[in-house]
Chain A
Amino acid sequence: MHDASIPRRNLLFRIVSEIPGVTYGVVFLAILFSIIRPRFMSVNNMLLIARHSSVLLVASIGMTMVILVSQIDLSVGSVMSLSGVVAAYAIRNGMDLVPAMALGIVCGLVTGALNGVMVAVFKFDYWIATFGTMGIGAGMALVVANGETLAVGSAGFGWIGNGRIGRIYILTYLAVIFLTVMWFVLKKTRFGYNIYSIGGSEQAARLSGLNVVRNRIYVYMCSGFFSAVAGLMLASMGNSASPIAGADYSFDVIAAVIIGGTSFDGGRGGLFGTVMGTLLVRILASGLNLMNILPTWQKAIIGIVIVAILVADVLGEKRKRRRDMMRRYRDG
């Protein structure tokens, strides 16, 4: 990746080839919808898409890291429901906003640690381990909320979900801050480097003296943390917490990350792709709603677009590899 022998004149080519394929999909769709429905391009609609992407974006940060170490975390959605419900329950019973939200986040960290220990220390299959915690989280959320939506009715909590500074929503700021920090962590810190190393080859990472177990636990705790934060953001939008709010989120999150080009093989991809994957899903939803297309059709159309992008990505990847190979032969 950081091959110094590639000549400078190929810098542009390198940058372009490192952009995940989904980016072109996002650009293409944005142009397409703007032509069909000019008001799609309005600043207000753009701000709205940014707002509607923010919860999914934050929830996807952790999953990006988990998939980078070639594993999966199915408990994301349940943790989202649980953290929202726990915080709402605490606020309703007189706790202050900040400690209540901290309590919600603790739920995420504990679930994440539990996942991490099961997967990294006891070597349980990560599908089954996180499937288990998914069930536990979803069940706990229903127990805490007694099966009902808990109205929070706190002005501060509602402000997080619906307030704005300038024209931009608080939720959007939160997503941008978390993404920037985690982008930096992944690209520029030891921990981020370790994640890519483990994903690339766990054996090589271990042999070079890396504490794989500890790093894996950290990764799952990050996933739990960001799921919990996303759950709080989701609940704040409705100023109420539903025990099933996050129910289907795990699959949306996995889809966003995979569409964004982060590979199950591990060690390839990153947060930029995840942002693009999320935007693609949200832009499709927004554009299709503006065009008054039935949700029943929307589902199929979204599926088709996802498959098209994956196919384009795979073909592009093949072509790139062939070109790299040819250049290597030619250059020396």
Chain B
Amino acid sequence: MKKWFPVLACAALLAALSASAADSRVEGKAVTMILKNFTNPFFITVREGGEAAAKEYGIDLTVLAPLKADNNEEQTHMVEQAIVSGADLVIMCPSDTMGIIPAMEKLEEAEIPVINLNTRIGGDRKLAKTFVAIENFECGYESVTRLVNMMGGKGEFIILEGVSGAQTSIDRVKGAHAALEKFPGVKLVAQQPADYNRAKAMDVTQNLLQAHPNVRGIYCCNDEMALGAVEAIAAANKTGQIFVGGSDGNADALKAIRDGKMALTCHTDPYNQGYQSVVAAAMALRGEELPDLFRVSIKVIGKEDL
């Protein structure tokens, strides 16, 4: 055993050296993560996930979001400032999938790699190393399937969309439609945007409930809107009679599900989205090959899952 010791020591040293060599490509690197806003709890959780991963890898992570929620101009400014201040990599969650393209082209020109998070950057060219996201189609499909089953496979149905033109909303709605096609007994009586906003969703739902008093199910493209719908339903004294589905899995929504006010949500795991985006960033900084899609799994959560 004794004569093996130097060999083992050498091997250990080598391993340590190679490990530190691998880390030095990542440790202390400046990564800028640009999110859509900090007014939606979803992105605050994304940030927390990102910061946790950055701590593990020793990455110097800066997380920014526009002062005016979802403002493309501010996001563009942030990208440009990241270039000037010498960021090694940018994690981008664009508010405006088309409007952000020139800023992404500037990153390409400056040879700063991009990890695309949550919402796909528009255009035909591949401007990011990889796309870290959930399948929003699947999210809409799974949620609505379960929601309609709760309704007994029949009745009137409403969909609340997010911000007009937002890709996440478009994909979830597509998934919802695909699920509805399986149930001929369900009638989609209305589909309206409520901008991912709780107050707006309450207004919209209140109006829709006036026009369609027999609605049995509402699918909302995020939890904030679902919570707005829940308030409108309570105001109409119909709590418990209408099945409301949301998406994201935030704390308020989980509480509403526990209280029986909301039927389900789709846990889109914002923490893991943030975390995985930084993992992808570390891989890119090490020069590793990345898959086109870094898929973060979803899970539909109803009362019995809590």
Binding site for B on A (CB under 8 A): 39, 42, 44-45, 48, 51-52, 55, 147-151, 158, 161-162, 234, 237-240, 242, 245, 248, 285-286, 289-290, 292, 294-296, 298-299, 302
Q: Given A162-B106, A289-B64, decide whether A238 and B38 contact each other with a Cβ distance below 8 A.
A: no
Q: Does B40 contact A (CB under 8 A)?
A: no
Q: Quote the shortest CB–CB distance from B6 to chain A (angstroms).
A: 47
B228-270 interface mask toward A, CB cutoff 8 Å, 1 = contact, 0 = none?
A: 0000000000000000000000000000000000000000000
Q: Given A161-B102, A295-B38, decide whether A240 and B96 contact each other with a Cβ distance below 8 A.
A: yes
Q: Does B118 contact A (CB under 8 A)?
A: no
CA gap between A286 and B82 in the complex, in Å: 11
CA gap between A161 and B86 in the complex, in Å: 22
Q: Quote the shortest CB–CB distance from A161 to chain B (angstroms).
A: 7
CA gap between A42 and B101 in the complex, in Å: 26
How many residues of B are in contact with the other chain, CB < 8 A?
A: 35
Which of A44, A158, A245, A302 lies in contact with B72, CB distance below 8 A? A245
CA gap between A55 and B74 in the complex, in Å: 12
Q: In the complex, are the beta carbons of B38 and A45 less than 8 A apart?
A: no
Q: Which residues of A contact B80 (CB under 8 A)?
A: 48, 51-52
Can you name 13 extra interface pairs (CB under 8 A) apart from A151-B98, A151-B122, A238-B102?
A42-B84, A48-B81, A51-B80, A147-B164, A150-B98, A162-B102, A238-B76, A238-B101, A240-B99, A242-B96, A245-B72, A248-B68, A296-B38
Q: In the complex, are the beta carbons of B98 and A238 less than 8 A apart?
A: yes
Q: Quote the shortest CB–CB distance from A285 to chain B (angstroms).
A: 7
CA gap between A295 and B65 in the complex, in Å: 6
Q: Quote the shortest CB–CB distance from B301 to chain A (angstroms).
A: 28
Closest to A235 in B: B99
Q: Which residues of B contact A55 (CB under 8 A)?
A: 73
CA gap between A289 and B62 in the complex, in Å: 9
Q: Which residues of B contact A242 (CB under 8 A)?
A: 72, 96, 99
Q: In the complex, are the beta carbons of A238 and B84 less than 8 A apart?
A: no
Which of B66, B84, B193 lies in contact with A48, CB distance below 8 A? B84
CA gap between A57 and B134 in the complex, in Å: 40
Q: Does B127 contact A (CB under 8 A)?
A: no
Q: In the complex, are the beta carbons of A239 and B101 less than 8 A apart?
A: yes
Q: In the complex, are the beta carbons of A237 and B102 less than 8 A apart?
A: yes
Q: In the complex, are the beta carbons of B102 and A158 less than 8 A apart?
A: yes
Q: Does B295 contact A (CB under 8 A)?
A: no
Q: Quote the shortest CB–CB distance from A117 to chain B (angstroms).
A: 31
Q: Which residues of B contact A161 (CB under 8 A)?
A: 102
Cβ < 8 Å to A, chain B residues 166-187: none
Q: Which residues of B contact A295 (CB under 8 A)?
A: 37-38, 64-67
Q: In the complex, are the beta carbons of A45 and B85 less than 8 A apart?
A: yes
Can you give 28 A-B contacts (C-beta < 8 A)? Answer: A42-B84, A44-B84, A45-B85, A48-B81, A48-B84, A52-B80, A147-B164, A147-B193, A148-B164, A149-B99, A150-B98, A151-B123, A237-B76, A238-B73, A238-B76, A238-B103, A239-B99, A240-B98, A242-B99, A248-B68, A285-B67, A292-B63, A295-B37, A295-B38, A295-B66, A295-B67, A299-B67, A302-B67
Closest 5 CB pairs of A and B: A238-B99, A147-B164, A148-B165, A151-B98, A240-B98
CA gap between A245 and B85 in the complex, in Å: 26
Q: Quote the shortest CB–CB distance from B93 to chain A (angstroms).
A: 14
Q: Which residues of A contact B65 (CB under 8 A)?
A: 295
Give the total number of A-B pairs whose CB atoms are below 8 A apart: 87
Closest to A298 in B: B67
B82-119 interface mask toward A, CB cutoff 8 Å, 1 = contact, 0 = none?
A: 00111000000000111111110010000000000000
CA gap between A251 and B76 in the complex, in Å: 20
CA gap between A25 and B97 in the complex, in Å: 37
Closest to B67 in A: A295
CA gap between A39 and B96 in the complex, in Å: 29
CA gap between A39 and B86 in the complex, in Å: 10
Q: Does B78 contact A (CB under 8 A)?
A: yes
Q: Which residues of A contact B286 (CB under 8 A)?
A: none
Q: Which residues of A contact B123 (CB under 8 A)?
A: 151
Q: Which residues of B contact A39 (CB under 8 A)?
A: 84-86
Q: Which residues of A contact B96 (CB under 8 A)?
A: 149, 238, 240, 242
Q: Which residues of A contact B71 (CB under 8 A)?
A: 248
Q: Which residues of B contact A302 (CB under 8 A)?
A: 67
Closest to A239 in B: B102
Closest to B65 in A: A295
CA gap between A148 and B99 in the complex, in Å: 11
Q: Quote the shortest CB–CB distance from A284 to chain B (angstroms).
A: 10
CA gap between A52 and B72 in the complex, in Å: 13
Closest to A290 in B: B85
Max chain B Cβ within 10 angstroms of own Cβ: one of A55, A149, A162, A290: A149
